[in-house]
Amino acid sequence: MKAVVAGAGAWGTAFSYLLAGRGHDVTLACRDAEHARAIAETGRNPRYLPEADLAGVDATTLDDPALAAADLHVVAVPSRAFGEVVRALPGAAPVLSLAKGLDPATGERLSQLVARRSVAVLSGPNFAEEIAAGLPAAAVIASENEALTLELQQAINSMAFRVYANDDPTGVELCAAAKNVIALAAGGVDGLGLGDNAKAGLIARGLAEMARLGEACGARPETFSGLAGMGDLIVTCWSRHGRNRRAGELIAQGSSPDDAAAQIGTVEGLTTAPVLRDLSHRLGIELPITEGVCMVLDGTDLNELAARLMGREPTRE
């Protein structure tokens, strides 16, 4: 398969490594020519995961007309850039989205921004650093096009990266977006030193919050207990690699959201939280952790928020 990976950040780099390892013809599409040239000449990405071996991976820029010849366009960019990148990609190849967020401008799932093409989404507990190191991982691919799902499953699955088919793209995308917001809150628990009991409780209630959102949007309940839901939520909330968890920790320790993002890089939860809150208001459902995260991002003291969440009226699980 001739695959273009649009987005030369950590996840795009790791996924290019993954596809090349399966024998596919891979081109990594970068924003600027200097970055592309460095990758093509050295077989390494000097800006992200330089330890990843990209021998055999070509590199070019996102505006290269030759990208139209691809059999697959893999999009690994931040949610805020997803729509622009998809619209700019030439040709009519199917799109595989690796992005984890919602469109900030419209509140839509990112796959809904893909027009006149087949689209699938991939998600799961997949930190780029571990993928690039060849450590074992698993993910789901979901699409409304079953043939595309199965084709991509066969093309990507390997001994190091196990891929499951899923027919609930709505649920998979909502999990991918919502778990980052919960991870900000989990990082806040770490930053305040509230302990593992509190963190585990928050993650469990966060999963319930995610499932409530999914039910309101017509997603399948089992998706939220699977790799895209519980699996990705756990690793994002607990791992040292978790950008959203780390951002929440820094904010709890006194950094502003902007300062945290400046230290870490892209933090999807900071973009997604207000979009998710507004979606919940339109749907008429309660997302108390998401609401709380938004309050903290707007300036509410985190200790005050923790007290408010613990002081909510007791209810049934």
Active site residue ranges: 179
- The neighbouring-strand residues paired with 100 are none
Distances in Å between the alpha carbon of 274 and those of 169, 184, 229, 296? 22, 13, 20, 11
3-state secondary structure the chain: CEEEEECCCHHHHHHHHHHHHCCCEEEEEECCHHHHHHHHHHCCCCCCCCCCCCCCCEEEECCCHHHHHCCEEEECCCHHHHHHHHHHCCCCCCEEECCCCECCCCCCEHHHHCCCCCEEEEECCCCHHHHHCCCCEEEEEECCCHHHHHHHHHHHCCCCEEEEEECCHHHHHHHHHHHHHHHHHHHHHHHHCCCHHHHHHHHHHHHHHHHHHHHHCCCCHHHHCCHHHHHHHHHHHHCCCCHHHHHHHHHHCCCCHHHHHHHHCCCHHHHHHHHHHHHHHHHCCCCHHHHHHHHHHCCCCHHHHHHHHHCCCCCCC
